[in-house]
Amino acid sequence: MNRYRYIRHIAVWTAVVLLTAVGGCSSTHVDEPDPVNKKNPVTFKAVSADSRAAASNAVFEKPGTAFRVWGVFYDPTKAGVVQVFDGREVTRTEDGWTYDKEEYWMPGFTYDFRALYPADLADGSSAHFNVGNGATSSLSVTGFVADGTDLMAASDRKMVLSDEEVPAFVDLKFRHLLCRVNFFGKTDDRYLGADGKPDDGLRGINILSLKVSGIADRGNWNGASYKADGFSSGEWEAVGAAGEYVAVIPEGGIALGNTPTGFFSGDNAILAIPQTFTELLVDIDYEYTRGDLGVQHAVARISGAWLPGKSYSYSFSINTHIFFDTPTVDDWISAPINNGDFDIILP
């Protein structure tokens, strides 16, 4: 698996990670009532997540993994909103998911939840929660730095009818807010042996370097409001200077076969801010293993748009020249968290 080196062509921001709640000015806040009893605590359950692209249940369940939760409750027929989760960190331990200051379901109210993963953003990134009128509460992120860290959000709404009719759990289905990008190279059979791999007796092709540039690497996201399907991918504004991703290739290069080789695969995939671009540059240096042609250089200029939660695969092939195919676009189906993450444990 190839590693890559990420380079950002912007000034260093001296800032501290900020995860705060920002109340909506239009809401009237009321004091939180005391629970009638404390038999229905809000507890948590989660299945998987990680800060990288290819997360697994096992990784997400490791102690120390954390996400943040914002939550309010309100009576839809009356004015007033109570915020009960204020960007609170929920952390995986050996005993399950824990957080400070246990909360309880309040009968007769509607609850709205927003959640963000990971719990800690990079320096210069900030998460903000707008209470609104409860039903319109929303989550946003400003100054997010695309440094290879995954970013996911979720939302849910629950009505608590009575102490005996509390929700089974708060169903947070986390989904990717970024997009995943990879570049694949191959050659054709006339440069390969019978097994479809490079053969010393034939003229092979080695990739010496591969660089992708022109990707905005910082952006603002807004839109984790509630939807019936439990999620809103929101909108992105790319604000960063163009950065570049460089595949780290061993000395001597990587030999191409007739099976595509990914240069930003698995945990090392490019996790990019969704954006529209007119000139994404792909620089490739390669050489033929026979002959005196020397190092060949090719530049591809790509235009298009990347959407949240999508996986983009760009393929190129080399024989006498280099050719780029139309990229394939798939849903990023490896979203780590896909089940209920809040669990209400009844006595």
Query: Tens digit of pLDDT per residue, the chain (347 long)?
Result: 444 433 333 222 222 222 233 333 334 444 455 554 566 767 555 544 433 443 455 656 778 888 899 999 999 888 899 999 999 998 888 877 788 988 998 899 999 999 898 899 988 899 999 999 998 899 999 999 998 888 888 888 888 888 888 877 777 777 889 999 999 998 876 655 555 555 555 567 899 999 999 999 999 999 756 765 555 678 999 987 788 999 989 998 999 888 899 999 866 789 999 999 988 999 999 998 776 778 999 999 999 999 988 889 999 988 777 788 888 888 775 433 323 333 322 22
- Which of these, 143, 140, 121, 115, lies nearest to 129 by C-alpha position? 140
- Which of these, 124, 146, 148, 128, lies nearest to 138 by C-alpha position? 128
- Which of these, 21, 126, 26, lies nearest to 84 by C-alpha position? 21
Residues in the chain: 347
Q: What pLDDT score was predicted for residue 22?
A: 32
Q: Give the residue extent of every domain in the chain.
A: 13-178+335-344, 179-331
pTM comes to: 0.78
Is residue 127 within 8 Å of 18, Cβ to Cβ? Answer: yes
Distance CA 336, CA 60 (A): 8
Residues 6+ apart with CB under 8 A from 228: none
Q: What pLDDT score was predicted for residue 16?
A: 23
141, 92, 60, 345 alpha-carbon torsion, rounded to 10°: -100
Q: What pLDDT score was predicted for residue 155?
A: 84
Q: What pLDDT score was predicted for residue 28?
A: 41
3-state secondary structure 194-241: CCCCECCCCCCEEEEEEEEEEEECEEEEECCCCCCCCCCCCEEEECCC
Characterize 245-268 residue by residue with b for buried, 16 or more Cβ atoms within 10 angstroms of its Cβ, and e for exposed.
Answer: bbbebeeebbbbbeebbbbbbeeb
**DSSP 8-state secondary structure symbol assigned to residue 38:** S
Strand bridging mode 310-318 / 179-187: parallel
Q: 179-331 sits in which CATH class?
A: mainly beta
Q: What pLDDT score was predicted for residue 263?
A: 95
Q: What pLDDT score was predicted for residue 191?
A: 56
Q: What pLDDT score was predicted for residue 40?
A: 76
